[in-house]
């Protein structure tokens, strides 16, 4: 698919309808690897696609120009979903790579770059490609050390690479056409950019003086009518502000921890707290993290197995620990048999993440909870928002 987004500027990405897993991020809606082509005195390709889609990418380029005529390839980021097709396209075109020093170092660690020609740019540097000028702005650690974005001054387009991206395969290209685009963008933020969110205000600051008519990310839809909203969302998501919302993440062996979870949820709902509940065996980790992003309370329940946490919950805890969400109020609960263990493991993770912890004797239960016990869990949920840490 090729789409003209401005005169002589084209979206020529590849839609990956099949992908369902992206380094641990489940992608039930697929994804896209967005490349862009600018036809000026120089023909410029901005970013490429995963290696297994190189033929489709070259076919797209061929609908606009002869791939041999590409003069420059801008590498905004070296992760292989955007650089995986470089070797073949450089071989065909002999194009020079425009990138920054750190990305060049990373490219050399990925590919045989011996015969590649590089034009190294620093943050703020500009290159004329004819009628147009490309300006490069470094965005290190969003989310790799090599990241940068490219701004086309005359057309007011920001080629933002991963920033503002969404994992969604779609024949539609623009923000106003893609269903649930903000939810896709939120999930992407919560799983890719979250650990580096403190850098977002600096980037927003660096971009504030740019006139932007299009934000062209490297995944998902192009932002055209909702640019202000998505920038606002990024500032909000990076703020660590929370809603009056509880996310219950749990798993269960014989439904005992399940009963505790449901009783606590009922209490929370009746107290007016918004609740989302996820079973770790049934829900992608990335969906859970999107729920946690703006939640005030995180309640994690696990049965004790061999004096430890239940494996699917352990997997989630490790994942969440790496993403370092902002400060929350944490509650650990679960059923056990003859020895406790799971809730202690959960609380250790809360401590590492600097969560406040609320405890109560009803939160653990030996074997199967009785009616009386579940009433206490309900009351605990109902009163949680009134408790001080
Ligand atoms: Fe879409 Fe960091 O790669």
Task: Note the pLDDT tens digit of each residue in 97-116.
Answer: 999 999 999 999 999 999 99
Residue 230 CA, ligand 1 centroid: distance in Å: 19
Spatial strand order of the sheet with 214-217 comes to: 126-128, 133-138, 148-152, 157-161, 214-217
Phi/psi-derived region of residue 180, left when phi > 0, alpha when psi is between -120 and 50, beta in every other case? left
Look at residue 74 and tell me whether its pLDDT is greater than 80: yes
Distance (Å, whole) CA 233 – CA 131: 34
Cα separations in angstroms, 275 against 264, 292, 369, 379: 10, 11, 22, 15
Residue 141: Cβ within 10 Å count: 13
Q: What is the rounded average pLDDT for all residues in the chain?
A: 97
Look at residue 268 and tell me whether its pLDDT is greater than 90: yes
Q: Cα-atom radius of gyration of the chain, to the nearest Å?
A: 24
- For residue 203, what pLDDT is reported? 86
Look at residue 389 and tell me whether its pLDDT is greater than 80: no
Residue 138: Cβ within 10 Å count: 22
Task: Of 327, 329, 325, give the one whose Cα is nearest residue 388.
Answer: 329
Q: What is the pLDDT of residues 363-386, one digit of tens each?
A: 999 999 999 999 999 999 999 999
CB 273 within 8 A of CB 297: yes
Q: Number of helices (H) and strands (E), helices first, in the chain?
A: 12, 24
Task: Of 89, 86, 88, 64, give the one whose Cα is nearest residue 77.
Answer: 86
- For residue 364, what pLDDT is reported? 98
Cα separations in angstroms, 230 against 46, 124, 198, 233, 254: 22, 23, 17, 5, 43
- For residue 208, what pLDDT is reported? 81
Record the pTM: 0.96
79 lines ligand 1 (CB under 6 A): yes
Estimate to the nearest angstrom the gap between the alpha carbon of 227 and the chain centroid.
18
Domains, the chain, with CATH or none: 3-237 (3.60.15.10), 243-384 (3.40.50.360)
Look at residue 308 and tell me whether its pLDDT is greater than 80: yes
Distance (Å, whole) CA 94 – CA 200: 35
Contacts of 311 (CB under 8 A, 6+ apart): 305
pLDDT confidence band for 206 (50 / 70 / 90): confident
Contacts of 370 (CB under 8 A, 6+ apart): none
Name the DSSP class of 65.
S
167 lines ligand 1 (CB under 6 A): no
Distance (Å, whole) CA 160 – CA 210: 13
From 82-91, 155-164, 199-208, 305-314, the region with the lowest mean pLDDT:
199-208
Residue 167 CA, ligand 1 centroid: distance in Å: 10
Strand partners of residue 301: 250, 333
Could you tell me the sign of the dihedral formed by the alpha carbons of 367, 371, 376, 377, in that order?
Answer: positive
Ligand 1 atom 3: the closest Cα is on which residue? 79
- For residue 250, what pLDDT is reported? 98
162 lines ligand 1 (CB under 6 A): yes
- For residue 388, what pLDDT is reported? 72
- For residue 12, what pLDDT is reported? 95
218 lines ligand 1 (CB under 6 A): yes
Estimate to the nearest angstrom the gap between the alpha carbon of 64 and the chain centroid.
31
Average pLDDT, integer, range 214-241: 96
Phi/psi-derived region of residue 313, left when phi > 0, alpha when psi is between -120 and 50, beta in every other case? alpha
SS3 per-residue string spanning 298-313: EEEECCEECCEECHHH
Look at residue 87 and tell me whether its pLDDT is greater than 80: yes
Q: Catalytic amino acids?
A: 23, 77, 79, 81, 143, 162, 188, 219
Look at residue 352 and tell me whether its pLDDT is greater than 80: yes
Strand partners of residue 216: 159
- For residue 205, what pLDDT is reported? 84
């Amino acid at each position: 698919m090729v789409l003209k987004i401005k005169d002589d500027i084209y979206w020529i990405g590849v839609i990956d309808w099949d992908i369902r897993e992206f380094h641990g991020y489940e992608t039930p809606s697929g994804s896209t690897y967005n490349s862009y082509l600018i036809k000026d005195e120089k023909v410029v390709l901005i970013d490429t696609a995963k290696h297994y889609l190189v033929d489709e990418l070259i076919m797209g380029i061929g609908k606009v120009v002869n791939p041999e005529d590409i003069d420059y390839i801008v590498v905004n980021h070296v992760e292989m979903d955007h650089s995986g097709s470089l070797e073949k396209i450089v071989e065909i075109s002999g194009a020079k790579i425009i990138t920054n020093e750190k990305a060049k170092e990373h490219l050399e660690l990925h590919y045989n770059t011996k015969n590649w020609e590089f034009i190294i740019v620093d943050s703020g540097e500009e290159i004329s490609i004819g009628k147009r000028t490309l300006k490069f702005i470094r965005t290190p650690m969003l989310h790799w050390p090599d990241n940068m974005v490219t701004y086309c001054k005359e057309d007011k387009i920001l080629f933002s690479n991963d920033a503002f991206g969404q994992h969604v395969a779609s024949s539609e290209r623009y923000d106003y056409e893609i269903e649930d685009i903000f939810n896709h963008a939120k999930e992407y933020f919560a799983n890719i950019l979250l650990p580096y969110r403190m850098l977002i205000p600096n980037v927003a600051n660096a971009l504030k003086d740019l006139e932007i008519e299009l934000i062209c990310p490297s995944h998902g839809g192009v932002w055209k009518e909702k640019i202000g909203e998505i920038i606002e969302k990024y500032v909000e998501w990076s703020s660590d502000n929370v809603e009056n919302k509880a996310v219950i993440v749990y798993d269960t062996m014989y439904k005992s921890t399940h009963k505790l979870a449901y009783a606590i949820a009922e209490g929370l709902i009746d107290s007016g707290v918004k609740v989302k509940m996820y079973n770790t065996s049934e829900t992608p980790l990335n969906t859970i993290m999107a729920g946690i992003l703006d939640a005030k309370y995180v309640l994690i329940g696990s049965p004790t197995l061999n004096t430890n946490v239940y494996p699917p919950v352990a997997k989630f805890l490790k994942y969440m620990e790496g993403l370092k969400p902002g400060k929350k109020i944490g509650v650990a609960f679960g059923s056990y048999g003859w020895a406790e263990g799971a809730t202690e493991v959960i609380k250790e993770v809360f401590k590492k993440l600097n969560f406040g912890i609320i405890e109560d004797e009803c939160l653990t239960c030996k074997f199967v909870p009785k009616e009386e016990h579940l009433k206490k869990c309900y009351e605990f949920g109902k009163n949680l928002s009134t408790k001080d840490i």
